[in-house]
Structure 1
Amino acid sequence: MSGSGPLPSPPPAPAPYGRSPLRDWWARRQSAAGAAVMATGIVSVGLHLTGYEVASRVTLAMAGAAWAVLAADFVARLTLERPRWLAEAGTPAAPTAVAATTVLGARVSVLGRPTAAEALLALAAVLWPVLLVTAVRRWERGMPGSVFLCCVATQGLAVLGAALARAEEAAWLAHTALVLFWLGLVLYCVALPLFDLRQVAEGAGDQWVAGGALAVSALAGAELLAADTAGPHLWNDDDAGVLRAVTVALLVLDLAWYAVLLAAEARWPRPGYDLRRWATAFPMGMTAAATLSVADTADVPWLARPGEVLLWVAVAAWLVVAAAAVTGAARAVRGRAAIRSRAPR
């Protein structure tokens, strides 16, 4: 697979998806639904961190509704369209199902709903090894930005695990999250040489995951530091110092990626809408959330102001992508309905 081209298309949908214009449209776009949940969920997290609770809960409800549709479609394809499910599970974008579940779980855990968050963590943990192995087996050189989603999914588990460990003072869960944190960094280092750097100039949106994976890694580090201060003593001074240094370094590298990718967008504009733009909105929101979290847990208070600025940039990007997605969906459904109405019977 060439990194300069689009992600591989799944096999044609069987009859159930061809019965209505809406289902026909969804069959070609459900792969982007996970990224949409991730982007919406992380915007909700960022709004919560900055005190905009009403807006945070509204976006959380939207993310939850989108996740429910995604989950229902996932189960339907697994049980009724197994060949299609297997084909999609082998694409680089497959781990979005795990990442979307953990982002939603991380926000739910803050609401004081540990049972729901634990259920989401358990579901993500079951899906993670299956989707991780099938995706990694198809890695090769010249990959698009979605190659980093294995790191994102792994660090998402670390974020949610650390958040629940802090809430429930569960040391074993915090130590498990720490293992996942380091594994996620290993996966990033393995994926980086496979990433086609031409995507920085040519990518349709998912090239931003190269930085977003570092952002979620920094957020995982921040959550692990918070788990240590909120409950039982988890790390000694040396371990905590290393974790803090790595977390700050990850944020710095993420911000460097952010600057490079933003400059590339200005140098090589890509104004047309593409489904992969959800994979732009998510890293922007994750960078904001990571900056705000590191400012708090790593004792770097001056980062709070840049974090809030980055949040509003992410909100603006999310609004643009969401508006384009809704407009495109309405146009596509109307167009398919018109074609079918003119078709001979």
Structure 2
Amino acid sequence: MPVFSPHRLLLRVRRAQRPPAAGAAVLATAILSVGLRLTGHEALSRISLALAGAAWLALGADFVVRLLWERERWLAEAGTPGALTAVAATTVLGTRVSALGRQSLAEALLALAAALWPVLLAVVVRHWRRRMRGAVFLCCVATQGLAVLAAALARAEATAWLAHTALVLFWLGLVLYCLALARFDRRQIAEGAGDQWVAGGALAISALAGATLLDAEGGGLYLWNADDRGVLRSVTVALLVLDLVCYAVLLAAEVRWPRPYYDVCRWATVFPMGMTATATLSVAAAVDVPWLKGPGRVLLWVAVAAWLTVAVGALAAVRGGEGGASVRSRAPR
């Protein structure tokens, strides 16, 4: 991966006046780090983790600055679905940190995300309306991100209550997905600027949460009886199948209605691609279906290529001093 400046990315986002999109960039980079680790590319995974961590810190600093000195704008942005990328990015970053064995830091990230989640979720849901963009599915993504991190920590520290909490969040995330689906503008499949892919990304992280819950018993815990495990396994596989179908539909729509211009919302295309690859690899291991690893690797490198393409577009936009996105959507945010 080429050198990527999180500060330049945040500058691009600020100029576009859509700061929540910066969270999608962090999320995209962090999930690629998780996927690269699963495929044995540890060096690339750590580089991605370092980039995601640096961008997360810069995003956090920007968050504090807006909260203290631009309160009205902060409140307005907190009501948009994109604000939930802060929670999702924190949880995915924490999941990768947990895999490094840094459980105390992962716990701190889980605590931070858990504190932000109910506040932002309540504000965002109050602003829901009909015919919304794909970012509406971030309510599910943020919730399932908490489930993934909690389940990962449950396995690492043999803590049963964390796994049971993660299971509750898993089912709640699916309920939120259904509610968001009722408000999603289907025209976004043809017209969206990039965040229409979150519809698939939410399914992908739900499948990843299911796989992580199945793996949680590997930490020496007895969590699920045979019936519970069977249901969880079936739902996880079904979610992955739905995600792959959604991926194919969205990819076909990109070919049918090409949108070749850079838009900051394209980061919300990259993270569902990376999430689908990571979910495929994780489900393959959790349900013991080895042949899924091949497609998972292919999807991962497609996501890496998409990351590089969007990163180049973001840096070019910064150097060109563009103020807004090239692609506009008519649906409410």
Aligned to 1:192, which of 181, 201, 220? Answer: 181
In structure 2, which of residues 289, 292, 301 is the aligned counterpart of residue 312 of structure 1?
301
1:251 aligned onto 2:259 = no
- Counterpart of 1:150 (choices 119, 127, 139) is 139
The count of corresponding residues between Structure 1 and Structure 2 is: 314
Distance change (3 Å), C-alpha of 1:46 and 1:71: same
**Structure 1 letter corresponding to 2:52:** A
Quick one: distance in 1 between partners of 2:89 and 2:133?
A: 19
Structure 2 CA distance for aligned equivalents of residues 42 and 315 of structure 1: 10
Maintained 8 Å contact 1:25/1:332: no
Using the TM superposition, name which of 47-56 and 80-89 deviates more: 80-89
Q: Who is 1:280 aligned against?
A: 269
Instruction: Assess, with a 3 A threshold, how the Cα gap between structure 1 residues 148 and 23 changes in structure 2: closer, same or farther.
Output: closer
User: Residue 249 of structure 2 aligns with which residue?
Assistant: 260
For 2:84, which of 95, 99, 113 is the aligned residue? 95
Q: Distance in 2 between matches of 1:87 and 1:50?
A: 40
Deviation string 1:298-317 (CA, Å, 9 cap, x unpaired) is: 11111000000000000000
CA distance in 2, matches of 1:269, 1:105: 35
In the alignment, which residue of structure 2 is the partner of 1:120?
Answer: 109
Letter in 2 for 1:37: V
In structure 1, C-alpha distance between the alignment counterparts of 2:13 and 2:247, rounded to whole Å: 35
Question: Which of 280, 290, 310 does residue 291 from structure 1 map onto?
Answer: 280
**Where does residue 16 of structure 1 map in the other structure?**
none
Per the alignment, residue 166 of structure 2 pairs with 177
1:317-338, CA deviations, whole angstroms, 9 ceiling, x for partnerless residues? 01000110011112118x9xxx
Higher relative contact order (Cα pairs below 8 Å, separated by 6+ residues): 2
In the TM superposition, residue 121 of structure 1 has moved relative to its aligned partner by 0.3
User: What letter corresponds to residue 62 of structure 1 in structure 2?
Assistant: L
Check whether the contact 2:197–2:250 (CA below 8 A) recurs between aligned residues: yes
Unpaired runs of 5+ residues, structure 1, are: 1-21, 336-345
TM superposition shift of 1:26: 4.7
1:39 to 2:39 alignment? no
1:237 maps to which of 216, 220, 226:
226
Question: Among 11, 22, 42, which residue is 1:53 paired with?
Answer: 42
Partner residue, 2:208: 219
1:209/1:283 contact within 8 Å kept: yes
Q: Identity over the aligned pairs, expressed in percent?
A: 73
Greater mean deviation of Cα atoms: 69-78 or 269-278: 69-78
CA contact (8 A) 2:143 2:173 kept: yes
Query: 2-side partners of 1:144 and 1:324: how far apart?
Result: 22
The alignment status of 1:64 with 2:53, answered yes or no, reads yes
Rounded Cα–Cα distance in structure 2 between residues aligned with 1:121 and 1:83: 27
Q: Distance in 2 between matches of 1:34 and 1:248?
A: 28
Q: Kindly indicate whether residue 329 of structure 2 is the aligned counterpart of residue 326 of structure 1.
A: no
Mapped partners of 1:322, 1:108: distance in 2: 23
Code of the residue aligned with 2:164 in structure 1: it is H
8 A Cα contact 1:98 1:124, kept in partner: yes
What is the aligned partner in structure 2 of residue 5 from structure 1?
Answer: none
- Is the Cα–Cα contact under 8 Å of residues 23 and 59 in structure 2 kept in the other structure? yes
Task: Tell me the CA shift for residue 144 of structure 1.
Answer: 0.3
- Give the whole-Å Cα distance in 2 for the aligned partners of 1:82 and 1:23: 21
Whichever of the two has the greater Rg, that structure is 1
Q: What displacement does 1:28 show?
A: 2.1
8 Å CA contact retained: 1:25, 1:329? no
Letter in 1 for 2:179: V
Q: Deviations over 1:18-67 (max 9, x none)?
A: xxxx5994572422110000000001111000000000000100000000
Contact 1:251 1:291 in 2 (8 A): yes
Q: What CA deviation, in whole Å up to 9, does each residue of 1:206-243 have, x standing for no partner?
A: 00000000000000000000002332110001000000
